[in-house]
Structure 1
Amino acid sequence: MSELVRLYRYKELLGGRRAVPAGELQSALEISRATFKRDIAKLRDQLKMPIRFDKERGGYVMDIAHADSSELPGLWFSPQEILALVTIQQLLAQLEPGILGPKLRPLQERLSDLMSRHGLTAGDVARRIRLVHAGKRQLHPAHFESVAAGTLGRKRLRVRHFNRQTGETLDRVISPQRLVHYRDNWYVDAWCHLREGLRSFSVDALTQVDVMEEGALEIEPGRLDEHLGGGYGIFGGAATAVARLRFTPERARWVRREQWHPNQQAWDEADGSYVLEVPYADDREILGDILRFGDDVEVVEPQGLRVKVRQALVEAAGRYV
């Protein structure tokens, strides 16, 4: 049994309410008395585990009141928690000093302290975990700060928005509802007073942002989720169609473990291919995701999406004649 696994076992053995005698611990872990003493010293002094010997009960116990905040280095972090810590670190590093500067330093210090108490340092994590950003667009720090201030402060925003689809720039007043971090970019879900409807705006597409004194129009969370969460990807709107995609057996090995939409349906076919059904409202993003798989995927239905994919592939092939 490795030392790491053995140290992990101590918390399991001492996780109950009864006191565990030293002999019982040594037997369960198959270690000598000398190794047991070294383990206890390391758990207490280096890893700050709240283990103590209870004379009255004749065994070792763990102080339950402090056990949840004392963990072994890295071992007690789930993959999601590790990713969250590293992501927060990177976000803070990217936002400071351009955004919120001094206000973020105490948070960075508290995060570093939390990680150090778990036997991790920012430098160690940075060396051992690498986050790869793909398609990340640069945003103006001051604009992000204003959008965040309006969203959290419940104030309307006067913005100048560049629509990449049409090439137009329009002045709008929006009531921000929430910030969204999606595929390495920031968006703000908001009520657009110009269009009188819910929209999702890419923060990097805002060329001017001013926080207004007027309070933001509040949208009921259920309505917000129904409108902006029912579509595919960042595009809002209640789903109006379902794309049925068939992936080749080779590509299925990857796609089978992916979630494209919370309400997707999927199954394997006899030949090893994988069929995925995904609801969508706006086909722009799902069209791009389909095209990146090339000939490893076929749009079975709807016919309109199938035609669009075919046209895009024909036009792409025409560029290489």
Structure 2
Amino acid sequence: MNSTERLHKIHHMLTQRHMVTTEQFVNELQVSVSTIKRDLTFLRDRLNAPVKFDYELGGYCFEKIQHVGPKYEMPGLWFNDSELHALVTMQKLLSELQPGLLSPYLDPLQAKLQAILCSMKDSPEEISNRILILAPNKRELPLENFEVVATAVVRRRRLKIVHFNRGTQTKTERIISPQQLVYYRDNWYLDSWCHLRKAIRSFAVDAIVSAELMPDKAKDVSLKKLREELSEGYGIFSGKPLQWAKLRITNVAAEWASKRIWHSNQKSTVDADGSLLLEVPYTDDRELIQDISAWLPHVEVILPNSLRAKLSEILKASLDKNSAK
């Protein structure tokens, strides 16, 4: 049995019996005396278990008197070493997802998780140090705005927001009914019903300058409708009309490109020369052009001509700016 399971077994033995000797622990758990003492110390010092050695009885027991201090509580689940290693990774992800944003809600869970991890044979700190999570596209996010937005989503309340449009460099005031928070490409977005546009819109949370919780109940949009409309576009952009882009990716990069999920409704075939023919739907070409650019010079836009022309214009403008004068 692993160390976590052994701790639960020790807890069970002490709970069910008046007293347990060191010899009984060793025989039933098939471990050394030093291991038993280490486990009992861990239960007492890390999990606040009221364990004591009774010299009159010659064994260990739980104190009957309620002691002052943190509550003793055993971790509720048993994990093997592989599962515990996965938990370390999960804990790292939770802490790196957006430092400080979810702390008030995740701290109690993190404390229990840490109690489980401390029972590992391998140091959780050492394992954590071997896991590096990079989020190069993450943008700074005001904690106070996120908390108001998250509250509105959970409590189903409307929001009054001032939103900054990066494209037009303008601010607009909107009344919205939040539907769901989305974590996408290292950043947070809020899918909402916009009462100004009378349509579903997605707002980058970091572009929300201010957010005020309103007393009015949020308008509900069915999850089915939400998924259908938002999944039609490419990336974070939704809306209509819908177009299809047809791309050709050379055989040099075809294998890697085929492993990438560009869109849930994508269509792909392999040409005779080994190149990948890829078709993806889109409603707004901004994110699609960014992704196409990442595959240059191994990608060609076949259709539509408007997308091909726009990519050419962007590349030409970039070349003009970066060419030697």
Structure 2 length as normaliser, TM-score? Answer: 0.71
State the match for 1:89 in structure 2: 95
Q: Is the Cα contact below 8 Å between 1:177 and 1:189 reproduced in 2?
A: yes
For 1:199 and 1:115, the matched residues in 2 are separated by: 41
Distance 1:308 1:217, change over 3 A: same
Q: Is the Cα contact below 8 Å between 1:243 and 1:278 reproduced in 2?
A: yes
Q: SS state of the match for residue 87, structure 1?
A: helix
Deviation at 1:174, TM superposition (A): 0.7
For 2:281 and 2:88, the matched residues in 1 are separated by: 31
Distance 1:115 1:232, change over 3 A: farther
Structure 1 unaligned segments of length 5 or more: list them.
1-6, 9-36, 48-67
For 1:113 and 1:280, the matched residues in 2 are separated by: 47
Equivalences for residues 1-321 of structure 1 within 5 A: 69-74=77-82, 84-91=90-97, 94-95=99-100, 99=101, 101-116=103-118, 122-237=124-239, 240-321=242-323
Q: SS state of the match for residue 177, structure 1?
A: strand
Q: Is the Cα contact below 8 Å between 2:176 and 2:193 reproduced in 1?
A: yes
Deviation at 1:287, TM superposition (A): 0.9
Question: For residues 236-271 of structure 1, what are the alpha-carbon distances to aligned partners after superposition, in whole Å with 9 as ceiling and x for unaligned?
Answer: 125711111111222223212111111111122222
For 1:145 and 1:120, the matched residues in 2 are separated by: 36
Distance 1:210 1:121, change over 3 A: farther
Q: Is the Cα contact below 8 Å between 1:74 and 1:119 reproduced in 2?
A: no
Rg larger in 1 or in 2?
2
For 2:242 and 2:189, the matched residues in 1 are separated by: 23
Structure 1 length as normaliser, TM-score? Answer: 0.72
Structure 2 unaligned segments of length 5 or more: list them.
3-26, 40-75
Counterpart of 2:174, as a letter, is R
For 1:120 and 1:282, the matched residues in 2 are separated by: 49
Deviation at 1:85, TM superposition (A): 4.3
Deviation at 1:107, TM superposition (A): 2.0
User: Over aligned residues, Cα RMSD in angstroms?
Assistant: 3.0
For 1:82 and 1:296, the matched residues in 2 are separated by: 39
Question: For residues 193-241 of structure 1, what are the alpha-carbon distances to aligned partners after superposition, in whole Å with 9 as ceiling and x for unaligned?
Answer: 1111110000000110111111111111111111112211000125711
State the match for 1:55 in structure 2: none
How many residues end up aligned between the 2 structures?
259
For 1:296 and 1:202, the matched residues in 2 are separated by: 31
Distance 1:41 1:107, change over 3 A: same
Deviation at 1:316, TM superposition (A): 1.5
Deviation at 1:129, TM superposition (A): 1.3
Counterpart of 2:296, as a letter, is G
Q: Is the Cα contact below 8 Å between 1:70 and 1:117 reproduced in 2?
A: no
Q: SS state of the match for residue 89, structure 1?
A: helix
For 1:118 and 1:302, the matched residues in 2 are separated by: 56
Deviation larger for 198-207 or 238-247: 238-247
Question: For residues 296-317 of structure 1, what are the alpha-carbon distances to aligned partners after superposition, in whole Å with 9 as ceiling and x for unaligned?
Answer: 1001111111111111111111
Q: Is the Cα contact below 8 Å between 2:164 and 2:172 reproduced in 1?
A: yes
Q: SS state of the match for residue 295, structure 1?
A: coil
